[in-house]
Structure 1
Amino acid sequence: MRQLARSTLGCFAALLLAWVAFAASARAADDVRIQEEIWALPLPLPMFAYLARPIGDGPFPLVIMNHGVSLNPIDRSFFPLVEFRDAAQWFARRGYLVVAPVGTGYGAAAIDIPERAVYGPFFSKIGRCGNPNFRDAGLAVAKTDLAIIDYLAAEKRIIPRDVIVVGQSAGGWASIALSSLNPPQVKAIITFAAGRGGRVGGRPNNNCAPDRLVEATADFGRTSRVPMLWIYIENDTFFGPALSKRMHAAFTTAGGRAEYHLMPPFGDEGHFFIGSKDAIPLWSPLVTKFLDTQK
């Protein structure tokens, strides 16, 4: 019994020391000075982007952060220019140049004309729910990520082959699509609440075509070999635990590499987990551990 008690205390002490070391490292990183910028990226289809990076000339490792979508063009016109600011700053304080692009057809890409509105091209349409094209919608945004990487590499702003891609919701789905292309510059991908076709008609846990979504996930998994971390939240009413577990099983069975984590309920709606500053202490240990294994 005494031996068991000593063993238990030893394990507890080791865990406590590990947590203290992690907390000290996090505090040190949080003291790093960063700067924020808004760029107009001169891509084949120009777009605005929020940047956060350490002070200095670089080059830096790159993080691209892909946002979600709205299928309503009026809603897209009100999309914020700065998305995931707190999460972006967390990465920037750890040495990354973070680019959070605003997709074409969103926010400032909307042009108001009297009596009608003309919006920039929107490439994330999935079509009708009866026959959704989840695959091409994801790949369209993935190809934008590749254009951003090429541009920043040509500008010598980033370290080649040291790119992390992070995505939320449809942005996470695009990140899964990107993994199927295995771009050599991308060493890891992290997704939060990834998927498409959630909350049809505004109803919770009502996916457009869940079986088709799982099939498309398996299709990406057949060629994907990029290490991935998938984070979902129990009270996500867009892509709940049952669906996200089916997606993960299909992806990994097909050959994809993805570590799956289901987080406890967060707030009233877990789908927007990464957008909250209060969520950073919850996901950052997982992300730190995952990225440490990719070095």
Structure 2
Amino acid sequence: MFAQSDSAFYGMNREWWRDDATIVDGVLTMTGFRIFRYAFDGPDRLYLTATMKNGAVTSGTLVRADPARLAAGDRPAEWPWPGERVSIPHLTVRTPDGARPITLEATFYPPVGSGPAPLAIFTHGSDVGRNQLKTWSFSTEAHWLRDNGFAVLALMRRGRGRSEGINGEENFGREHDGGLVDVSAGVAEAVEDLDSAIAYGRKLSGVRPGPVLLAGQSRGGFLAMHYAGLKPGEVLGVVNFCGGWYPYGPVTTPYYANGGRGAAGKVPQLWLYADNDGLYNEALIREYDRAFVAAGGRARFELLHGVPGDGHLLRLYPDRWRLIADQFLATLDRQKP
């Protein structure tokens, strides 16, 4: 049985229905009007991945609650969720009148417990059209990182969500025939945004000074790898989910070589990809890895199999990657100055 309540915020009306369901390897899958996939994360939490009829995929987290305590006004420790929306002043870009810095939107998840924790920054992929106006809070990834002892800042780069400024990441350099020859301008803008987020995040309550963990999806994963190569002293580690800036090897592969050269032996990295990625095929993914390693980079490279749907959305299926990622985080030197 599946039921939901009224929610004006999410445009939901109360309803219930009966779905067919299977449980395989600890994952509950319900098929019907939508496909819901629930994976247990301990006794009190479920990760949800929902695939809609139009092909859209979304995710979330469910926590156990006592109905009587809810009725009495009590709330689980993990509520309210997701986190606190914050505005990050940009370090280099100002409003058109020059009156103030533009601001970048982010969601801050304070660390669990009372002591200061290292900062992890998670950032998004490219998106197109109206999707650029959507704010990604990355609550699934934030849960995972907080469980592993991090404070988390989920960053929206300029022109995305409620972040001010213009998204210049699509200003590719092209030849007269339209062929892509250069992505450096867009990459440089994203690096500036990440600089601003790191400077701001280090000042937040509960955050310990020092290097930060960088993680991201697609273009965000590429950015984490690239930034670690530029400024290895600022980075504790990298978790790259299906990273790539643009699916065109001759232009983007050299960035992986540069990243490997700059971060060689200094920044541990985990690269998580799927063999059914709809944007970056297996040959190109392996090309990126070879270029990185040949230049001296060190990364744990995992090409995962059997990811549901489009493997580019691997991050939405933590039961496929969490054990690997937990092992990686446990190896990081969190006392790195």
TM-score normalised by the chain length of structure 2 = 0.66
User: More deviation in 58-67 or 36-45?
Assistant: 36-45
Structure 2 residue 162 is matched with structure 1 residue 105? no
Structure 2 residue 301 is matched with structure 1 residue 260? yes
Q: 1:182 aligns to what?
A: 231
SS of 1:137's equivalent?
Answer: helix
SS of 1:232's equivalent?
Answer: strand
Q: Distance in 1 between matches of 2:209 and 2:233?
A: 9
Q: 2:249 aligns to what?
A: 210
Deviation digits for residues 151-177 of structure 1, max 9, x if unmatched? 232345411224211011011111111
Q: Distance in 2 between matches of 1:293 and 1:196?
A: 27
CA RMSD of superposed structures (Å): 2.5
The answer to whether the 8 Å contact 2:118/2:150 transfers is yes
Q: 1:117 aligns to what?
A: none
Q: Report the alpha carbon displacement of residue 220 of structure 1 after superposing the two structures with TM.
A: 2.5
Q: 1:116 aligns to what?
A: none
Letter paired with 1:100: A
Shift in CA distance, 95/175, structure 1 to aligned 2, threshold 3 Å: same
Q: Count matched residues.
A: 245
Shift in CA distance, 272/231, structure 1 to aligned 2, threshold 3 Å: same
Q: Report the alpha carbon displacement of residue 272 of structure 1 after superposing the two structures with TM.
A: 1.2
The answer to whether the 8 Å contact 1:138/1:173 transfers is no
Q: Distance in 2 between matches of 1:27 and 1:231?
A: 23
Instruction: Say which of 51, 56, 73 aligns to 2:108.
Output: 51
Shift in CA distance, 123/160, structure 1 to aligned 2, threshold 3 Å: farther
Q: 2:48 aligns to what?
A: none
Q: 1:193 aligns to what?
A: 242
Deviation digits for residues 57-108 of structure 1, max 9, x if unmatched? 65221110010013x454423x2x2342212122123321111111111122
Instruction: Say which of 294, 298, 319 aligns to 1:281.
Output: 319
Unmatched tracts of structure 1, length 5 or more: 1-25, 111-119, 198-206
Q: Distance in 1 between matches of 2:276 and 2:260?
A: 26
Deviation digits for residues 188-224 of structure 1, max 9, x if unmatched? 0010110022xxxxxxxxx3x3222212321222222
Of Structure 1 and Structure 2, the greater helix share is in: 1
The answer to whether the 8 Å contact 1:231/1:261 transfers is yes
Shift in CA distance, 57/121, structure 1 to aligned 2, threshold 3 Å: farther
Identity of paired residues, percent? 26
Structure 2 residue 99 is matched with structure 1 residue 62? no
Instruction: Say which of 136, 158, 172 aligns to 1:82.
Output: 136
Q: Distance in 2 between matches of 1:107 and 1:63?
A: 20
Q: 2:85 aligns to what?
A: 38
User: More deviation in 227-236 or 91-100?
Assistant: 91-100
Q: 1:235 aligns to what?
A: 276
Higher RCO (CA 8 Å, separation ≥ 6 residues): 1
Letter paired with 2:182: N
Q: Distance in 1 between matches of 2:215 and 2:163?
A: 22
Q: Distance in 1 between matches of 2:279 and 2:239?
A: 18
Instruction: Say which of 260, 263, 266 aligns to 1:224.
Output: 263
Q: Report the alpha carbon displacement of residue 137 of structure 1 after superposing the two structures with TM.
A: 2.7
The answer to whether the 8 Å contact 1:64/1:100 transfers is yes
TM-score normalised by the chain length of structure 1 = 0.74
Letter paired with 2:330: D
Shift in CA distance, 147/231, structure 1 to aligned 2, threshold 3 Å: same
Letter paired with 2:42: R
Deviation digits for residues 28-49 of structure 1, max 9, x if unmatched? 8969944521112233331111
Structure 2 residue 96 is matched with structure 1 residue 96? no
Q: 2:187 aligns to what?
A: 138
Q: Distance in 1 between matches of 2:114 and 2:181?
A: 44
Q: 1:23 aligns to what?
A: none
The answer to whether the 8 Å contact 2:132/2:159 transfers is yes
Letter paired with 2:155: P
Shift in CA distance, 95/222, structure 1 to aligned 2, threshold 3 Å: closer
Of Structure 1 and Structure 2, the greater strand share is in: 2
Q: Distance in 2 between matches of 1:240 and 1:210?
A: 11
Structure 2 residue 210 is matched with structure 1 residue 154? no
Q: 1:203 aligns to what?
A: none
SS of 1:246's equivalent?
Answer: helix
